[in-house]
Amino acid sequence: MSLRTPLSKVKGLGPAKEGASHWWNQRLTAIALIPLALWFSFSIALLAVADYATVSAWIASPFSTVLMILAICVGFYHGYLGLQVIIEDYISNEALKIGLLIGVGLLALLFATLGVVSVLKISFGA
């Protein structure tokens, strides 16, 4: 005999009430990050030591602007999902766990926004 209600079986969301969406989003962003990471690691190796005119002209090209914004947004989301799992796995103090989850989420949002605004400022303002 199962203690699960027929409704919970139909919904299929499990005890965490979100089904497989966390797992699925982590994999979806992982796949998106395969080409982005290859492009990104080559770009930073090439450009980190270049002068202002070179780097800003490179960021300002539509191709780089789009890829950089995608890398920042998808990267921070993927990173947040991963850090969330690590915090949930290793932090047993409930108050600390909730606090860290909120803090990491807000910081990811803050830095992702800072990154996107910086890229847009370089692209449109330079």
Partner 1 sequence: MANINRPTSPHLQIYRLPLTAKMSISHRASGVLLSAGLVLTVLFLSALAGGQSSWASAQGFLSSGFGQLILFVFTLVLNYHLCNGIRHLFWDVGCGYSLEAADLANKVVLGAAAGLTLLVWIMALAA
User: Residue 13 and residue 116: Cα distance in Å, rounded?
Assistant: 34
Given 13, 19, 66, 82, the residue binding partner 1 (CB under 8 A): 82
- For the chain, the straight-line distance linking the first and the last C-alpha, in angstroms and rounded, comes to 68
CB 116 within 8 A of CB 72: yes
Among the listed ranges 4-12, 14-22, 79-87, 95-103, the one in contact with partner 1 (CB under 8 A) is 79-87
CB 85 within 8 A of CB 25: no
Binding site for partner 1 (CB under 8 A): 27, 30-31, 33-34, 37-38, 40-42, 44-46, 48-52, 55-56, 59, 68, 72, 75-76, 79, 82-83, 86, 107, 111-112, 114-115, 117-119, 121-122, 125
